[in-house]
Structure 1
Amino acid sequence: MKTVLKFALAAAVVPFFALSTGTNVAAQMPMPDACKAEASAMKGMGMSGGMQMGQMADHQKATMESMQQMHPAMMQAMMATDPDVAFVCGMIAHHMGAISMSEVELKYGDDQQAKSMAQKIIEAQKKEIEEMTTWVNDHAK
């Protein structure tokens, strides 16, 4: 199986595992109230009802584009018949999304601490992607 296909197949495993195991990640690790308040402000702009990309700020557009690229790959991953391959490939897609979102922070963010977190995420996630890619190449059938 080609690496790209393996990656695409496994990219959906995170939401799949959460649904299939009954794990409620949000209940275990709730979103900070400050994040909820920021998201609530978007509801008034129609975000949940279909806010148009043209109405978004540049950083919002960039983040949405990275998420739109990540989610199809993650959803494909749940189709992998091997749960280990599905998990690892799903995590590769998830990490690629984290890198993309971190790059948006570096480009548009102002806070040096947030930018430092973004840079650390990029470095850590790239290393983990390399490790997971090696694992997939060695273990996928």
Structure 2
Amino acid sequence: MKKIIAALCISCASIGYSAAQNVNQNIVDKAQGAASAVSQTLSASSTALDKVNESMMKNMSVKMSGNADVDFIKMMLAHHKGAVDMAEVELQYGKDPEARKLAETIISAQQKEITEMQDWLKKHDSQ
């Protein structure tokens, strides 16, 4: 009887995990679809930012490994790369000196952290 209960618990847990993954992917898919629809009527800079955001959201949807450290670093890596891409769009289209300076600062800081995270993953990610 204990084996049956244990098997049922494991089955329920795996179904719950699978359902959560599907919900997360559905949210990302809907957000990407809405972003694509909006970009059709926007300026070149808005379209570029929309594409960067869509890519970042897709890349942040990593397959969870069960290792909080690895999952965190992988998601933050995608987030930081997205921030760099957004800052590059600002440098391409933006006119305000303060916003452009902030974009340059973001690129510099995020690139350093991207390198740190990539180095960390090389040491800790066994996948």
Instruction: Indicate whether the TM-score tops 0.5.
Output: yes
In the alignment, structure 1 residue 69 sits paired with structure 2 residue 55 = yes
- Tell me what 2:86 maps to: 101
How does 1:15-30 map onto structure 2 within 5 Å?
A: none
The one of 97, 118, 137 aligned to 2:103? 118
Provide the rounded CA distance (Å) in 1 between the counterparts of 2:114 and 2:35: 34
Shift of 1:53: 2.4
Instruction: Report the aligned-residue RMSD.
Output: 1.9
Q: Is the 8 A contact 2:36 2:50 kept in 1?
A: no
Higher radius of gyration, 1 or 2: 2
Supply the AA of the counterpart residue of 2:114: I
How does 1:1-141 map onto structure 2 within 5 Å?
A: 51-77=37-63, 79-141=64-126
- Tell me what 2:28 maps to: none
**Unmatched 5+ residue regions in structure 2?**
1-23, 25-33
Supply the AA of the counterpart residue of 1:62: A
Q: Is the 8 A contact 2:49 2:86 kept in 1?
A: yes
Give TM-score, length-normalised by structure 2. Answer: 0.68
Q: Is the 8 A contact 2:60 2:78 kept in 1?
A: yes
Provide the rounded CA distance (Å) in 1 between the counterparts of 2:58 and 2:37: 20
Percent same amino acid among aligned pairs?
36
Provide the rounded CA distance (Å) in 2 between the counterparts of 1:129 and 1:75: 17
**Cα deviations by residue, 1:43-76 (Å, 9 ceiling, x for unpaired):** xxxxx79744231011110001011111111112
**Unmatched 5+ residue regions in structure 1?**
1-15, 17-47
Shift of 1:80: 2.2
Give aligned pairs, total: 94
Give TM-score, length-normalised by structure 1. Answer: 0.62
